[in-house]
Amino acid sequence: MTDRQTEIAEGQGAVPPQAAADVDHRLVAAGLSAGYDERRVLEELDLQVPEGSFTVIIGPNACGKSTLLRSLARLLRPESGEVLLDGSSIASVPAKALARTIGLLPQSPTAPDGISVADLVSRGRHPHQGLMRRWSRADEEAVLAALEATGMVELADRPVDELSGGQRQRAWIAMALAQQTPLLLLDEPTTYLDIAHQIEVLELCAALQRQGRTLVAVLHDLNQALRHATHVVAMREGRIVAQGAPEAVGTAELVEEVFGLASRVIEDPETGRPLVIPRAP
Ligand SMILES: Nc1ncnc2c1ncn2[C@@H]1O[C@H](COP(=O)(O)OP(=O)(O)O)[C@@H](O)[C@H]1O
Ligand SMILES: [Mg+2]
């Protein structure tokens, strides 16, 4: 990320860093079971998202990561148990208040046909508009800041469906940023991005976290999770196997338990964080 992008990320939103005395969990899943029709995916899952954290969820394909994120954003109703936002059941939060509090970038979002990048990003401002309050300067600034933070200014007038996969992904991230929610849930935000853009998105997440926001992301890359997260959640078969600091979760035992992969863990020479190296056959 360039200095300018960091500056924009750090200037995004007016979310004051929480006082140290505040209790630490904004978003909690308590005994959460959820799924689709006959198929139960999440099994009495307990999760605490620490306030002000960059929480990253890892786990094998189909273990329920997206289902969990959708439940946290109230896109999926629990079969039992509940999701708590600031201590109250999320089921009772009015829709607009929820949209101003939690932003979600789904795993495979679909844009309306022919919509431009700028129009897509502007949709992130809908929860901030009311009957009396139309498009404002604050909306304009939020959209521009989000386009700048994601390097999308030059592509603002292009139709979303004519972008490359990586550009499209960044347009969606910009939309989620324009929403300026204190909580941001991102489902595989680095998919389709080349390595440099992956790092840029992760650095952007880290900058937003430092600025006081709480982020929850699903990431495929275990080492990126261990490197960038402040809190790591490891899932398997609809349950949480471990959650904690990257140093606590990034062990060979856990990689074996969660992914069934033999590895060894060394210290990342750049960051001191755990670095997982798969064993040679
Ligand atoms: N809309 C859906 N309808 C029915 N089954 C689904 C739906 N979405 C996901 N599933 C199933 O739920 C399980 C968990 O999926 P998901 O939460 O997307 O996993 P992950 O994100 O960890 O890859 C998978 O077996 C998947 O096939
Ligand atoms: Mg998924």
pLDDT tens for each residue of 228-255: 999 999 999 999 999 999 999 999 999 9
The whole-number pLDDT of residue 126 equals 82
Whether residue 104 has pLDDT greater than 70:
yes
In this prediction, residue 7 has a pLDDT band, given cuts at 50, 70 and 90, of very low
| Smallest-distance ligand from the CA of 45 | 1
Average pLDDT over residues 96-100: 90
Q: What is the pLDDT of residues 124-168, one digit of tens each?
A: 888 777 666 678 888 999 999 999 999 999 999 999 999 998 899
| Smallest-distance ligand from the CA of 106 | 2
The whole-number pLDDT of residue 131 equals 63
The whole-number pLDDT of residue 17 equals 37
Whether residue 5 has pLDDT greater than 70:
no
pTM of the model: 0.88
Task: Measure the CA–CA gap between 223 and 105, rounded to whole angstroms.
Answer: 22
The whole-number pLDDT of residue 209 equals 94
Spatial contact of 203 and 234, defined as CB atoms under 8 Å apart:
no
| Nearest atom (ligand 1) to Cα of 70 | 17
Whether residue 32 has pLDDT greater than 90:
yes
The residue whose CA has the least distance to atom 27 of ligand 1 is 62
The whole-number pLDDT of residue 22 equals 41
The residue whose CA has the least distance to atom 17 of ligand 1 is 64
| Mutate which of 67, 188, 219, 235 for ligand 1 pocket (most atoms within 8 A of beta carbon) | 67
Taking the centre of ligand 1 as the mean of its atom positions, its distance from the CA of residue 197, in whole angstroms, is 27
The whole-number pLDDT of residue 281 equals 87
The whole-number pLDDT of residue 13 equals 39
The whole-number pLDDT of residue 266 equals 97
The whole-number pLDDT of residue 38 equals 84
| Smallest-distance ligand from the CA of 108 | 2
The whole-number pLDDT of residue 165 equals 87
Whether residue 70 has pLDDT greater than 90:
yes
The whole-number pLDDT of residue 9 equals 47
The residue whose CA has the least distance to atom 16 of ligand 1 is 64
Whether residue 14 has pLDDT greater than 90:
no
Q: What is the dihedral of CA 168, 118, 215, 266, to 10 degrees?
A: 40
| Mutate which of 33, 38, 39 for ligand 1 pocket (most atoms within 8 A of beta carbon) | 39
Report residues whose beta carbon is within 6 angstroms of any ligand 1 atom: 36, 39, 41, 59, 61-67
Whether residue 15 has pLDDT greater than 70:
no
Whether residue 114 has pLDDT greater than 80:
yes
Average pLDDT over residues 219-236: 96
Average pLDDT over residues 96-119: 92
